[in-house]
Amino acid sequence: MAEPKTKPERRVAGRSKFRLPERPPRVVETNPLREILQEAKAQEEALSAKPAPRTQDTPAKRVAGVGHASTVRRDTPAKEITGVSRADIVRAPAAPETSAAISFREFSKRWSPILRSGQMSVCRVLFEMTYEAGQTECFTSMPKLAAAAGLKERQCYNVVAQLELLGFIERPEIFNTPTKKGTIFRLFLSPQTPGAGSNRRYHIGGEGD
């Protein structure tokens, strides 16, 4: 007589057909070093939760030479290279510096890190026409300035506009009359706040000089 067939066990959703043997519970060993590290971490978190005083310098800041006071008053290395300080930017004189004890070699050495060769060439020509001549401004035309600086006329227009944005030169008056054509230039020995031509005067057509 045939043996009766056994019914397969009914499968329950979410229940795996294969079961891994249960692992024995893990015995937690006491580790003195772990307790010391946990205690040190808790102390560090408690200290970091307190707001540090604004004037306090951290060891990393002392090593790097940066502190709370230095972030306000200290000049950056880039400013030291170019000779620009916070006082130069905030309290820059409105009028160009007087001639005196500065030569174009000193000007070039001071500002060569930020001025390109074409910009420096235009500054050289204007320096010769102003400070070396004992004047604070000069009158010339753009073609003559371009020829003296060794630039093309269109390139000279671009360089002059760049120097104006940087605050090294100013063009207070531009003439284009039958009797006078040219521009009055002022060269600053240190960059000024650009005036964006707000005070510029144009003399065009039949207007008087």
Which pLDDT tens digit goes with each residue over 175-194? 999 999 999 999 999 999 87
Within-domain flag for 183: yes
Count of structural domains, the chain: 1
In this structure, how many other beta carbons lie within 10 angstroms of the beta carbon of residue 168?
Answer: 25
The encoded tokens of residue 137 equal: 């401004």
The encoded tokens of residue 119 equal: 């910009």
Q: How far apart are the first and last CA of the chain?
A: 134
pLDDT band at 63 (very low <50, low <70, confident <90, very high): very low
Within-domain flag for 30: no
Domain CATH number, residue 151: 1.10.10.10
Which residues, at least 6 apart from 196, have a Cβ–Cβ distance to it below 8 Å? none
Calculate the average pLDDT of the chain: 74
Which residues, at least 6 apart from 56, have a Cβ–Cβ distance to it below 8 Å? 68
In this structure, how many other beta carbons lie within 10 angstroms of the beta carbon of residue 105?
Answer: 8
Within-domain flag for 115: yes
Within-domain flag for 54: no
Q: For a pLDDT cut of 70, what percent of the chain falls above it?
A: 53
Within-domain flag for 88: no
Within-domain flag for 155: yes
Provide the residue range defining the domain that includes 188. Answer: 94-204
Q: Could you tell me the pTM of the whole model?
A: 0.52
In this structure, how many other beta carbons lie within 10 angstroms of the beta carbon of residue 21?
Answer: 5
Within-domain flag for 49: no
Within-domain flag for 89: no
